[in-house]
Chains A and B, each alone.
Chain A
Amino acid sequence: VLTQFPATLSLSPGERATLSCRASQSVNNFLAWYQHKSGQAPRLLIYGGFNRAPGVPARFSGSGSGTDFTLTISSLEPEDFAVYYCQQRRWWPTFGQGTRLQIK
């Protein structure tokens, strides 16, 4: 089971966002982060816990291993407000319940 927190994060453009994901068992580094906007396909941001996917801006970073992971957006841009999911692949995939990042 993957638990994301907070469920909702209200911030302003330019602020730093920190999103957390906790696994009930170690998933090693078999963890990815996705950005999902309504009406669009999810977008892979981070794979292997900390690797940025091609084309993802450097303001997005991932950290952690084992059971505790963090997605950090260093300085929010208007286009970053969306829902973010973590997903494990230590076994068949599961997703966290998502964190909604909204404009304050």
Chain B
Amino acid sequence: DVKLVESGGGVVQPGRSLRLSCAASGFTFDDYAMHWVRQAPGKGLEWVAGITWNGGNLGYADSVKGRFTISRDNAKNSLYLQMNSLRAEDSALYLCTGDTYSSSSYYGMDVWGQGTTVSVSS
């Protein structure tokens, strides 16, 4: 079974840090670019950060650039998100997902976790 399981969410005060993890199983992890996507209460899906299959290229939404760091460990089939200087507006369900593509085709985000909730509040 293809599985992505997120962990590490919780309640944290503004300005503090949190590290999310995503454990992958049931598919070839290093075939995939991996991403963190979040959904704030009552809002739509927002891409947060992405990393290529080998970790050679990283990307961030403007809203988190300079505060969040994405990383992966292919030997452990794991994805991470280090979140620093957290703000109230970072409160959301954080979902781990992966996609594949070539120079001419895109195959979509076909693996998803159920998410871990982050709440930033004093």
Most buried by A among B59, B106, B110, B112: B106
Interface SS of chain B: helix, strand, loop or mixed? strand
As a 0/1 sequence over residues 34 to 51 of chain A, the CB contacts with chain B under 8 angstroms (1 = contact) are 101000011110111000
As a 0/1 sequence over residues 89 to 122 of chain B, the CB contacts with chain A under 8 angstroms (1 = contact) are 0000001010101000111111011110000000
Which residues of A53-104 have CB atoms within 8 Å of chain B's CB atoms? 53, 83, 85, 87, 89, 92-98
A32 located at the interface, meaning its Cβ lies under 8 Å from any Cβ of chain B in the complex: yes
Q: Which residues of B contact A3 (CB under 8 A)?
A: none
Q: Which residues of B contact A93 (CB under 8 A)?
A: 35, 37, 47, 50, 99, 109
A-side interface size class: 20 to 34
B-side interface size class: 20 to 34
| A31 in complex: contacting residue of B45, B46, B106, CB < 8 Å | B106
> CB distance A48 to B45 under 8 Å?
no
